[in-house]
A and B are shown apart, each in its own frame.
Chain A
């Protein structure tokens, strides 16, 4: 096997990785932490302190938005799981051969298209002059245009749509590895469909459920496009706050503190999810 044998060889092969991780990941995050712990006391004058974090806790708008973003992301994750599970089960266990391949590929298609295009599609569907509103008027269910955009339900529809793939793929993979004979054995022993689902199928699918949920939660939490475009001005999404601190108000110290809070919540969820399911990051991703 050819590989680096000498110390120099190893250093050479390792250097791109180290260069990438230190200059683009580690040092920038340390620098962001440092900036978030600076308080502005004058023009280009700073003092060390936790003021930016205190602002977050004392200003209700900020932590309300934070809690709302977390809550909505949890709801989006649960909804994606509930909607995606039956479909994943269908692809893994009921569809066979070509149909199975085709359905699985169909689930991947929206992912190949930019999130912006997907969100744009939902805007065309949901807005006051949109397709669904027109359809409802045409069918006589309502007699005037309905605005379905710019509310929490619209944000939820967009988030679930955007993250569906990341739930379906791990679910199909784990359900695929469940032996049909276990389900048959359950039936032979007289169990109901519900009992089989609860005692055989779901326990087997736990790794897939955890992986999918972690990814969906993380993506929803860090999403910017969908809440801003589908929720409009009232979207109140935490990434929007980070953006406005950085770009609109040019208050990088506050923005960096917000960034760290978001990163902290996201990492915490990933960590807890992995611990609960007894998995490691290396196993889940690799």
Chain B
């Protein structure tokens, strides 16, 4: 079962074909989504009616392309805005958390660490409803007491950002803390000996060292936010992000426009993934 040991050729053939079949299974759904974005037909299905770019650039109903679909373009913007907010917030809090768990000693540290991991094992839909219930409770309480209506606590962008932030921060913390663990703290001491203040040492020595992890955590946060569905579904207001808009459209019936958006999403995520791999490679060299 390992290359150094001779194996019955028939078993080997069966095993190899199984692995090939597995990768076909992995690739199949994504490939059909991509291919049917170019089919000149009103439905993403066979027969093949010829190649077209109308599902990207078409200007007239029902041949309206993605780039001219207001509803989809607006929701891409909404998603990007949410992803950016979540990403920045989680890098910020994740970095501070990394310092807390790697550099400080305090009572209940182990307990707090486990508590910090919990958001990863809570189903996303439960995170969503619990935040919905609580924010509604606070908003109603404030309204009963003072008569003010706090719009941010009703379903909408703020709650979506908070909901996604609530579990993505755990991942950011883990990624950044893993890097901080590898840091040689004598570098900071050298900076202090040369007359730097603590803040200067952190700013000029430690943070640049953490940068690859911070970028990596930021990209993972962007991707996870962009594709999040469960938590977002419970907290969404009138400004729907892309996954929600696509879900609604899919329930109405699928059109090749959805294939075109999906293809754009695939290209976008692979580009981001490549950026991340590139950052990690250049980090290994230095």
CA distance A242 to B114 in the complex (A): 27
Query: Do B266 and A13 have beta carbons less than 8 Å apart?
Result: no
Q: Is B214 an interface residue (CB 8 A)?
A: no
Query: Distance (Å) between the CB of A66 and the closest chain B CB?
Result: 13
Query: Do B230 and A224 have beta carbons less than 8 Å apart?
Result: yes
Query: Distance (Å) between the CB of A226 and the closest chain B CB?
Result: 10
Interface hit among B58-66, B68-76, B80-88, B221-229: B221-229
Q: Is A83 an interface residue (CB 8 A)?
A: yes
Q: Is B100 an interface residue (CB 8 A)?
A: yes
CA distance A196 to B7 in the complex (A): 14
**Known A-B contacts A14-B100, A24-B165; A270 and B121 likewise in contact (beta carbons under 8 Å):** yes
CA distance A27 to B141 in the complex (A): 15
Query: Do A2 and B117 have beta carbons less than 8 Å apart?
Result: no
CA distance A175 to B15 in the complex (A): 17
**Known A-B contacts A3-B104, A124-B36, A184-B5; A224 and B93 likewise in contact (beta carbons under 8 Å):** no
Query: Do B266 and A113 have beta carbons less than 8 Å apart?
Result: yes
Query: Which partner residue on chain B sits nearest A7 by CB separation?
Result: B106
**Known A-B contacts A16-B97, A31-B137, A116-B246; A262 and B123 likewise in contact (beta carbons under 8 Å):** yes
**Known A-B contacts A184-B5, A259-B129; A114 and B15 likewise in contact (beta carbons under 8 Å):** no
B109-121: CB near A (< 8 Å → 1, else 0) gives 0101111111111
Q: Is A94 an interface residue (CB 8 A)?
A: yes
Query: Do B258 and A120 have beta carbons less than 8 Å apart?
Result: yes
Q: 8 Å CB contacts to B: which residues of A19-67?
A: 20-21, 24-25, 27-29, 31-32, 35
Query: Distance (Å) between the CB of B132 and the closest chain A CB?
Result: 7
Q: Is B213 an interface residue (CB 8 A)?
A: no
Interfacial chain B residues near A3, Cβ < 8 Å: 99, 102-104
Query: Do A184 and B4 have beta carbons less than 8 Å apart?
Result: yes
Query: Do B97 and A17 have beta carbons less than 8 Å apart?
Result: yes
Query: Which partner residue on chain B sits nearest A17 by CB separation?
Result: B97
Query: Do A282 and B96 have beta carbons less than 8 Å apart?
Result: no
Query: Which partner residue on chain A sits nearest B43 by CB separation?
Result: A129
B211-246: CB near A (< 8 Å → 1, else 0) gives 000000000000100110110011000000001001
Interfacial chain B residues near A197, Cβ < 8 Å: 1
User: Of the candidates A114, A120, A239, which one forms a contact with B226 in the assembled complex, judged by CB atoms under 8 Å apart?
Assistant: A114
Query: Distance (Å) between the CB of B12 and the closest chain A CB?
Result: 9
**Known A-B contacts A117-B265, A270-B121; A256 and B129 likewise in contact (beta carbons under 8 Å):** yes
Query: Distance (Å) between the CB of A219 and the closest chain B CB?
Result: 8
Interface residues of A (CB under 8 A from B): 1-4, 10, 13-14, 16-17, 20-21, 24-25, 27-29, 31-32, 35, 83, 86-87, 89-90, 93-94, 96, 103, 106-107, 109-110, 112-118, 120-125, 127, 129-131, 134, 161, 164, 180, 183-184, 187, 193, 196-197, 201, 218, 221-225, 229, 239, 242-243, 246-247, 252, 255-256, 259, 262-263, 266-267, 270, 281-282, 285-286
- Extra 8 A-B pairs, beta carbons < 8 Å, given A24-B162, A114-B227: A2-B188, A106-B26, A113-B30, A114-B243, A183-B2, A221-B123, A222-B123, A222-B124
